[in-house]
């Protein structure tokens, strides 16, 4: 295992800044996912850690040692690429043994290690098969076994499941997590797939335009986004603009009351917002509860509106509700969703949960430049 540190890492290609002052501290045995859209710099960052790309500025450290100029084969890393990259003319066992033979390990040790890896990835008895005789998921397991065979101190994954169908991705993401937990390897995983990131990560690093937007646990990233990009990129959100009118503190929690048009909402505050500040308010569709007609509830987070559209999607029913001219998206699941299908054109009451407010940086910048 190794602690991996990125300290003010920057990569420029001429005038283009692919990675911009990225700093990240990954503990021994931690599974960290770098999540972001295409072109955000996540793969470039991973390749810098691997030594495949040299940073323009900044440092990469393994266990406190600067490795900027250490070649990839001397960093003791395992890199799993998007493509399986198996040797088609070698058997499964020979593919797994390849790195060990390059390191001139004794034959008996190579054989023992290959059997151990086949067992680890649940491919016992597959050693004599050729890659062409395997499914896509099995080929990716062989690629994992080949990487793990050399006992790397850091595992790097560059969207390893992107070429597989959804069912295989769902199976293999948990297999990768199980392997990482069993081997206790430090792992850095790159993906644009949010479900993968949330399912397997200890922490998620969200990147945008070469910079880190937020680092946190999956729960923090989902429920407590710190920037507008994170709130909009991760999952789905209803977004309102408003102004903080007062602050509420109690039980170690800080909330703000925000006025948006005719609405007043209580929102979680993680930025130390003050009265008078312009903010963005986010509430996820699945965190809006549709109350039954006879529900007796007293809560300042209850809104009333007209159902304009209902879409049945099997596990989920999606609503579009007009509240004082604002369109709210609402997702209902579980048995309740089947009781709501006749609400189109009717008025409903909604209770909002997990509302978050963050500073409206764009509005703040506009005000700062006004004379």
pLDDT tens figures, 144-197: 889 888 889 999 999 988 877 787 788 888 888 988 898 899 999 999 999 999
pLDDT score at 170: 82
The band of 37, judged by pLDDT with boundaries at 50, 70 and 90, is: very high
Burial class of residue 316, CB neighbours in 10 A (0-12, 13-18, 19+) = middle
Give the CA angle between residues 77, 81, 85 to the nearest 5°.
105
Rounded to an integer, what distance in angstroms lies between the CA atom of residue 167 and that of residue 176?
15
The β-bridge partners of 59 are 7
> 3-class DSSP state for residue 12?
strand
Contact 285, 318 (CB under 8 A): yes
229-242 pLDDT, tens per residue? 999 999 899 999 99
Q: Domain 287-353 adopts which CATH fold?
A: OB fold (Dihydrolipoamide Acetyltransferase, E2P) (2.40.50)
57-62 vs 4-13, strand pairing mode: antiparallel
Q: What is the mean pLDDT of residues 286-310?
A: 84
Give me the helix-helix angle, 92-102 and 136-149, nearest 10°: 20
Q: Is the pLDDT of residue 30 over 60?
A: yes
What DSSP string describes 68-134? TTS-GGGTTEEEE-SS----TTS-HHHHHHHHHHHTT--HHHHHHHHHHHHHHTT-TT-TTS-GGGS
**N-terminal to C-terminal alpha carbon distance within the chain:** 55
Rounded to an integer, what distance in angstroms lies between the CA atom of residue 83 and that of residue 160?
7
Contact 1, 29 (CB under 8 A): yes
Domain boundaries in the chain?
Answer: 4-228, 237-284+354-371, 287-353
Residue 131 neighbours by CB distance under 10 Å: 18
Could you say which of 1.25.10.10, 3.30.70.20, 2.30.30.140, 3.90.25.10 is the CATH number of the domain covering 237-284+354-371? 2.30.30.140
In the predicted model, what is the mean pLDDT of the chain? 90
CATH class, 4-228 region: alpha beta
What DSSP string describes 192-246? S-HHHHHHH-SEEEEEETTEEEEEE-HHHHHHS--SHHHHHHSS--EEEEEEEEE
pLDDT score at 299: 65
Q: What is the largest CA-CA distance in the chain?
A: 78
Q: Is the pLDDT of residue 329 over 60?
A: yes
Q: Is the pLDDT of residue 365 over 60?
A: no
pLDDT score at 39: 92
99-113 pLDDT, tens per residue? 888 888 888 998 999
Give the CA angle between residues 120, 123, 128 to the nearest 5°.
125
Q: Is the pLDDT of residue 323 over 50?
A: yes
Rounded to an integer, what distance in angstroms lies between the CA atom of residue 216 and that of residue 153?
23
Q: Is the dihedral of CA 268, 272, 277, 279 positive or negative?
A: negative
pLDDT score at 161: 84
């Amino acid at each position: 295992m190794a602690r991996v540190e990125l300290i003010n890492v920057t990569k420029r290609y001429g005038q283009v800044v692919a990675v911009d002052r990225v700093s990240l501290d990954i503990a021994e045995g931690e599974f960290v996912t770098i999540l972001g859209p295409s072109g955000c710099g996540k793969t470039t960052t991973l390749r810098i850690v691997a030594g495949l790309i040299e940073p323009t500025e900044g440092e990469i450290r393994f266990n406190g040692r600067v490795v900027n100029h250490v070649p990839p084969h001397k960093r003791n890393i395992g890199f799993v690429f998007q493509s399986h990259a198996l040797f088609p003319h070698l058997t499964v066992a020979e593919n797994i043994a390849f790195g060990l033979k390059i390191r001139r390990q004794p034959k008996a040790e190579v054989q023992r290690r290959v059997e151990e890896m086949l067992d680890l990835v649940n491919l016992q008895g597959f050693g004599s098969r050729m890659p062409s005789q395997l499914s896509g998921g099995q080929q990716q397991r062989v690629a994992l076994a080949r990487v793990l065979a050399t006992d790397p101190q850091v595992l790097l994954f560059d969207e390893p499941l992107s070429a597989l169908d959804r069912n295989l991705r769902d199976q293999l993401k948990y297999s990768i997590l199980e392997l990482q937990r069993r081997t206790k390897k430090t792992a850095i995983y790159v993906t644009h797939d949010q479900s993968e990131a949330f399912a397997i990560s200890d922490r998620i690093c969200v990147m945008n335009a070469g910079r880190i937007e937020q680092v946190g646990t999956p729960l923090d990233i989902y429920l407590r986004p710190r920037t507008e990009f994170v709130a909009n990129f991760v999952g789905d959100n209803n977004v309102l603009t408003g102004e903080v009118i007062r602050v509420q503190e109690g039980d170690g929690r800080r909330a703000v009351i925000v006025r948006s048009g005719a609405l007043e909402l209580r929102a979680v505050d993680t930025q130390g917002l003050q009265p008078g500040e312009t903010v963005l308010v986010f509430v996820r569709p699945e965190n809006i509860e549709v109350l039954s007609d006879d529900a007796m509830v007293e809560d300042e987070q209850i809104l009333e509106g007209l159902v304009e559209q209902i879409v049945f999607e099997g596990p989920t029913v999606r609503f579009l509700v007009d509240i004082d001219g604002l369109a709210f998206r609402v997702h209902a699941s579980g048995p309740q969703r089947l009781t709501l299908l006749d609400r189109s054109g009717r008025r409903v009451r909604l209770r909002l949960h997990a509302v978050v407010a963050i500073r409206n940086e764009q509005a703040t910048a506009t005000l700062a430049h006004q004379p």
